[in-house]
Chain A
Amino acid sequence: MSKTALIIEDETTLAEHLRSLLSSVGVECNVVHDGAVADDVTMHNSYDIILLDLQLPSVGGIELCKRIRSRDSNVPIIVLTAFSDLDSKMLAFDYGADDFISKPFHGIELLAKVTVFLKRHYRQPDEVQTVHIADLEIDYRTKNVIRGGKRISLTPKEFSLLSVLIEQPGKIFSKTELARRVWNVGFDTGTNTIEVYVSLLRNKIDKPFGVKLIHTKPGFGYCIAEKEP
């Protein structure tokens, strides 16, 4: 299934240039030039990524960013702006933007960011919403992790690591496999990166609760299980 992008840009020439750039990497694009129209479109459709200009007619980019984020907490939003002041860009971040690109920009820079966000953004099928192991619960829809009734805050990478481990409880995942699944093949994560992340995850998932769920099989890797395998 090809990825979809919504381009919200009032400058038609630039909007078409963006459509052509994204199409070149196989992304299906929908282009709108007006804030109010974009608000309506995002209300009835979901996308894998949104490119949002800050200066828009009808509804401004910041307000639109806020509205989209309130409806969809996962879709990556990349802000495009010709404003030189940092404060307006930071404001967009405060309202849920994931990244910004200043105009003028290089096509390759934009494509690199879009590719990374598309790779990262994964729309969870509706039927898989929550997974349990012992008193640990993961809600994929809201990205909430709860153990013993207590909500645990995880970073995206910690969440990914937990998600991979919990896919098959009891299965030993090697460090190489975890690095490949959680991180990226485009760069090397030293073995200690996995160790550090497992330790960080243990500090949040296991340490405050008596029973250990994350186990180490020395020389093989890590697994998540109610009892030590």
Chain B
Amino acid sequence: MTLRRRLYLMYIGMFTLILLGSLLSIFFIYKEYREDVFYELLESRIIMTTRLLFEVQTKDHNLVRTLDEKTTDAMFDEKVVIFNNDGQIVYSSINDSSISYSPDLLRRIKKKGRWKSIDGDREELGLNYRHDGQDYVALASALDITGLRMIDHLATALSISFAAGIAIMLVSSRVFVSRTLRPITNLSADISKIGPDDLYRRLEVPERGDEISSIAISFNETLDRLTAAFEFQSNFVHYASHELNTPVTVVQAIIDRIRSGNHSVEAYRQAMEEISEINERLTDLLTSLLLLAGLDSMNPMRSMSAVRMDDVLFDVAEITSVSHPETHLSIDLDVADNTMFPFEVIGISPLLRTAMSNLTENGTKYADDGNVHCTLISDRYYVRFRIITKGQSIPDSYSELIFKPFVRFAPAQSIRGRGLGLAIVRRIAEVHRGNISYSHTSHDENIFELAIPARQE
């Protein structure tokens, strides 16, 4: 079902329910009111008759009947009957109407004090009346001709109003739904114009600042991210193929060179070393590329567990001290007072180890004086791993770019690496809802900080 139809039906349904509910309420409230007023009249008639009979002490029942008939507020076809305690009629008004009663009904009225009923169009009221220690039961019955006629008129008027309301609503709902959906229809038409060859086209954002503007902004942002991902993919394949193909070509060149003619043992040994070095570079590149691809394709719902970052840091430091004995590595720990779980994060231990290892490895490569200082700071919200080294600072214009794959700051070109280490760290930080940043001080200190949200419960 289309949104238009759904909105249309919803609008009709709601309006019909509200209109019907309102009209029925008016009808029933008025009907109730008429009944109450009519029963009050019947009650006053009974009270007046009983007062004439017992309090004025008249024995002339005909006089009472005459007074009953001549009263200005006489009701149509009314009948009043009064019974004594033995169920005998002590008074009955003159007319042809009759009230059906039984000894059982009289007993019930005596017991409850009040009884009312509707017999066809006639409304009946029974009251218990006590005079001089004697119980009397009075029954009154009459037709509310005027009231019932007014109810009929009201029902007709309300039915006409309902029909008119529905007719107006059917027309207005079409206009309302069309006007409401027009911006969405326009937006949909604009979106359908954006094809795979037109990824740089953006939607026009209405100035109204309403939900449609928000959708247009969100859609444009999604397009921005898609375009960036598309560009990244293109560049990634471009750079990756270059980085993979070049060393393979070089290896082939070395093999061709060795194959042509006779060479000394020293020449063969040198060729083997060249190939071995290129193979090591290829190994680095392949491992990093596969890890980066693995991070992108890993199951996002993968469960994480509590990880002590200090344990991971000591693992990394131990391995670094063995693989880079020339580097002087120092570690400092700090825990803020309000920390609930010192150094604990919710994460994936091997990935955090890779991230910390990459940062430490970078430190060993770029520290001018061979000193790599690691600090692990734990507070209530984050566990922050900082690597501080002395060396040439990265210009501010590069400080974000260095976290992109294959981007290397010019002075780093002479150092082995392919510009994937920091991209991997950033991706791992993202997987853990953390972040990685770079800053430097005026004393040529370069600081990389990996911040991972701390365990909260």
Partners in one complex: yes
Q: How far is the CB of B14 from chain A (nearest CB, A)?
A: 50
Q: Which residues of B come within 8 Å of A, CB atoms?
A: 280, 282-284, 286-287, 290-291, 293-295, 297-299, 302, 308, 310-311, 314-315, 317-323, 325, 328-335, 342, 348-351, 353
A184 near B318 with CB under 8 A, answer yes
Q: A86-B298, A112-B322, A186-B325 are in contact. Are A157 and B334 (CB under 8 A)?
A: no
Closest to A156 in B: B311
A84 near B294 with CB under 8 A, answer yes
| Residues of the A chain whose Cβ atoms lie less than 8 Å from the Cβ of B348 | 90
Q: A85-B297, A86-B351, A200-B342 are in contact. Are A186 and B322 (CB under 8 A)?
A: yes
B325 near A87 with CB under 8 A, answer no
Q: How far is the CB of B40 from chain A (nearest CB, A)?
A: 78
- Docked Cα-Cα span, A87 to B319, in Å, equals 24
B308's partner among A104, A109, A155 (CB-CB below 8 A) is A155
Q: A102-B290, A157-B311, A157-B314 are in contact. Are A86 and B295 (CB under 8 A)?
A: yes
A192's partner among B295, B299, B325, B334 (CB-CB below 8 A) is B334
Closest to A93 in B: B350
B335 near A199 with CB under 8 A, answer yes
B311 near A113 with CB under 8 A, answer no
B349 near A188 with CB under 8 A, answer no
Q: A90-B350, A100-B350 are in contact. Are A186 and B308 (CB under 8 A)?
A: no
A112 near B323 with CB under 8 A, answer yes
| Residues of the B chain whose Cβ atoms lie less than 8 Å from the Cβ of A108 | 323
Q: How far is the CB of B126 from chain A (nearest CB, A)?
A: 80
Chain A, 196-225, CB within 8 A of any chain B CB: 196-197, 199-200
A104's partner among B287, B291, B302 (CB-CB below 8 A) is B287
| A190 on interface, CB distance cutoff 8 Å | yes
Closest to A91 in B: B302
B329 near A113 with CB under 8 A, answer no
- Docked Cα-Cα span, A142 to B315, in Å, equals 21
Q: How far is the CB of B343 from chain A (nearest CB, A)?
A: 8
- Docked Cα-Cα span, A193 to B350, in Å, equals 23
| Residues of the B chain whose Cβ atoms lie less than 8 Å from the Cβ of A84 | 290, 293-294
Q: How far is the CB of B337 from chain A (nearest CB, A)?
A: 11
B298 near A187 with CB under 8 A, answer no
| A116 on interface, CB distance cutoff 8 Å | yes
| A46 on interface, CB distance cutoff 8 Å | no
B315's partner among A106, A116, A186 (CB-CB below 8 A) is A116
B319's partner among A116, A183, A192, A193 (CB-CB below 8 A) is A116
A155 near B311 with CB under 8 A, answer yes
Q: How far is the CB of B306 from chain A (nearest CB, A)?
A: 10
| A99 on interface, CB distance cutoff 8 Å | yes
| Residues of the A chain whose Cβ atoms lie less than 8 Å from the Cβ of B308 | 155
A106's partner among B280, B329, B351 (CB-CB below 8 A) is B280
A192 near B280 with CB under 8 A, answer no
| Residues of the A chain whose Cβ atoms lie less than 8 Å from the Cβ of B310 | 155, 157
- Docked Cα-Cα span, A121 to B243, in Å, equals 40
B331 near A190 with CB under 8 A, answer yes
| Residues of the A chain whose Cβ atoms lie less than 8 Å from the Cβ of B328 | 187-188
B333 near A89 with CB under 8 A, answer no
- The 8 A CB mask of A70-91 against B (1 = contact, 0 = none) is 0000000000000011110110
Chain A, 152-205, CB within 8 A of any chain B CB: 155-157, 183-184, 186-190, 192-193, 196-197, 199-200
| Residues of the B chain whose Cβ atoms lie less than 8 Å from the Cβ of A116 | 315, 318-319, 322
Which 7 residue pairs across A and B have the least CB separation, nearest first?
A186-B321, A187-B329, A188-B330, A112-B323, A86-B294, A84-B290, A112-B322
13 A-B contacts, Cβ less than 8 Å apart? Answer: A86-B291, A86-B294, A87-B302, A93-B350, A111-B322, A113-B319, A116-B315, A120-B318, A184-B317, A186-B321, A187-B318, A189-B331, A192-B334
Closest to A85 in B: B294
A104 near B286 with CB under 8 A, answer yes
A85 near B283 with CB under 8 A, answer no
- Docked Cα-Cα span, A61 to B213, in Å, equals 54
Closest to B299 in A: A87
- Docked Cα-Cα span, A218 to B372, in Å, equals 30
B318 near A186 with CB under 8 A, answer yes
- Docked Cα-Cα span, A113 to B354, in Å, equals 13
Closest to A107 in B: B280
| A115 on interface, CB distance cutoff 8 Å | yes
B350 near A99 with CB under 8 A, answer yes
- Docked Cα-Cα span, A119 to B315, in Å, equals 12
